[in-house]
Amino acid sequence: MESENVLGMMGSVGTASQAAVQKYLNGRKVPQLLVSSAASRFNQPKVFPWTTPNSGDFQVEGRAMGRHIAATRPDAKIALIYPADELGRDFVRGLKAGLGDRAGQIVTEETYETSSPTVDSQLVKLAASGADVFVNGTIGKFTSQSVRKAHELGWKPEQYVTTASASVSLLKPAGVEASNGILALRYMRSVGSPQWADDPAVKDYQALRAEFLPNVDPDDNTGFYGYSSAILMHRILEKCGDDLTRDNLLKVATDLRGWTVPVNLPGITLATRPDDYAIYRTYRLSRYENNDWVGIQDVSAG
């Protein structure tokens, strides 16, 4: 960064790696834009004004989910599982804030370490609670495991997964019977879904992927997410015009209200503003049916 006098950083991946350089970049007033992490530490404009996120903030998502559950299931008995890390704590903080006075309806909580082989023992405890709402805050392989285990146990609560886990590639391995009916608050379309096969943005991405990265799974959203991030950065640079300074780059990147990118579901727009860098504040409640998502209604984090 110093030797080449770069204008800024964009699209870097990972909570731990980006947290490690956050203070350094902010101290030198170098834009650290569109960080690919859902940790709320990347939405602290008063503390780290030069850092902006590109993923839905887990705390904001948790708040939206809590508000929805409180409004639609006022008598719910809630079971909760989440990773014992920064992302998990952010999510739970938001969930309880959204539930408000009903946070006491969480009858049992379990955590897991990302180094653990399975979460089977946690699911047994959660199922034994008799909860009728299951907030499944797992990520990655643990989502597949937990969805499948709940089904094996004969536990049939109303189940929510996070937007980070609302992926066909994670739910499909759990089996159709186990995953049907699962709910999620989403902002991204699934690139492998037949409903988007003729969407112009998806077709453009698939053409580029096939030409330059043919080994990337066409149904994997990671590539589509990265493609959309690059398009967003291109638009930010265009809007900077001839004033391509760090100050102006930050000014443009911190007011994206009303913008959209290819990966967004139709009608879901970016929300970043100068005093709050959360990139999404509205999510689409969706139900998983036969290996695809069906939109139900939009839910706001407030």
For the cut 90, the answer to whether the pLDDT of residue 212 exceeds it is yes
Query: DSSP code of 40?
Result: G
The reported pLDDT for the residue numbered 219 is 85
Which residues is 32 bridged to in the sheet? 9, 51
Confidence class for position 157, pLDDT limits 50, 70, 90: very high
For the cut 90, the answer to whether the pLDDT of residue 221 exceeds it is no
Quote the CA–CA distance of 96 and 135 in Å, as a whole number.
12
Tens-digit pLDDT profile for residues 224-280: 999 999 999 999 999 999 999 999 999 999 999 999 999 999 999 999 999 999 999
Tens-digit pLDDT profile for residues 31-80: 999 999 989 999 999 999 999 999 889 999 999 999 999 999 999 999 99
The reported pLDDT for the residue numbered 276 is 95
Q: What is the pTM of this model?
A: 0.89
- For the chain, percent of residues with pLDDT exceeding 90: 85
Per DSSP, the residues of 42-87 read G--TTT-TTEEESS--HHHHHHHHHHHHHHH-TT--EEEEEESSHH
